[in-house]
Structure 1
């Protein structure tokens, strides 16, 4: 037999928690002649189940249903699926928040973003990191191919005494691929002015020669004429 205090100590919860579960009908205490609550060994096991279910995020209503149908696994399977879906959504929301924080941190370091533009900048960049990562990853793969063509043609010339035409062909292909990649990248990005929040696309010439960081380019906004490190983002089709 356990008193409320002993049961609470065994499961590392407060006496108030035990009393609360008792009031909700999750635990069933017997009463002594002095009206003191007492609990059986089965109540200890039941309390451990309640606490385990609570750690999984189940509501007290769900837990009551599970305890009342402990011989039937179908309610538990249903609640597991529902809770897993809820936990997955929460995880996605948390990841979106982390992405927004990372995005904001980068913009504070790279640009002149102000407090008045924080909300729009965060909302604008919330879904951007993954798209940009995919675009830059593709660029990296093609960049490695360019390196292979250039250095491969050079190896043919130096080590295998091949024709100089192999080297020239390697350079030509590298330049052509690089030009296509640059144009493709240019068509898939857009810029956000940190001063007035206008989205714009600079001319190819200005874009190509502008000073830049990994996430921004120093451009003149066509709307406010303010020169700043504008935020590079993925252009939605």
Structure 2
């Protein structure tokens, strides 16, 4: 007979709060295996594994709605397997990169300790230590563009309010129109820019592909996936998003 865990046991085992576990119950994500006569919830290994998976996806900024869609999708398990395999590859690459950096740091520390480094030498060290990944740069640019759009929206609303207060209605409408043009223009540019930087992997056949722009815009998506039809196997699934 499989062991049953109380909600407190599960909370300690997964480093969660009982409130969070009850919340997932209310959202129909993880129901207890049984409820005792005393009203206590009891969970089995299957529910614990599901909670662990939800915790991981929440850590990747998946919303409750997105997690529910993914878990209920017929090909959801294939998409998740693809995500985990990709994450393992990324972790292995990060570990290798950290090991290389550790080797460099030890070598640099030994060099500095054994002889005096002049200005040119320090410049060389700075070049060695400075390394940015393409993904990091892309995220920074996306945040900058998003902040610019938000700033334009705030300034536009504030300006329109000021013009309305002074009864300058024509100027107010001109301000609103200008704001909308800028917002839609920047949003279109940001969408196109992001579209040009990413591609997708089908969880069914492993094909890498780039969807049509309109499909990209209107398809359902999560922080790591987009629901697309593979051009090779024609299966519609949550495909993993990667940089080109």
What TM-score does the superposition give when structure 1 sets the normalisation length?
0.47
Computing the radius of gyration from Cα coordinates, the structure with the larger value is 1
What TM-score does the superposition give when structure 2 sets the normalisation length?
0.46
Choose between structure 1 and 2 for higher RCO, CA contacts under 8 A separated by at least 6 residues. Answer: 2
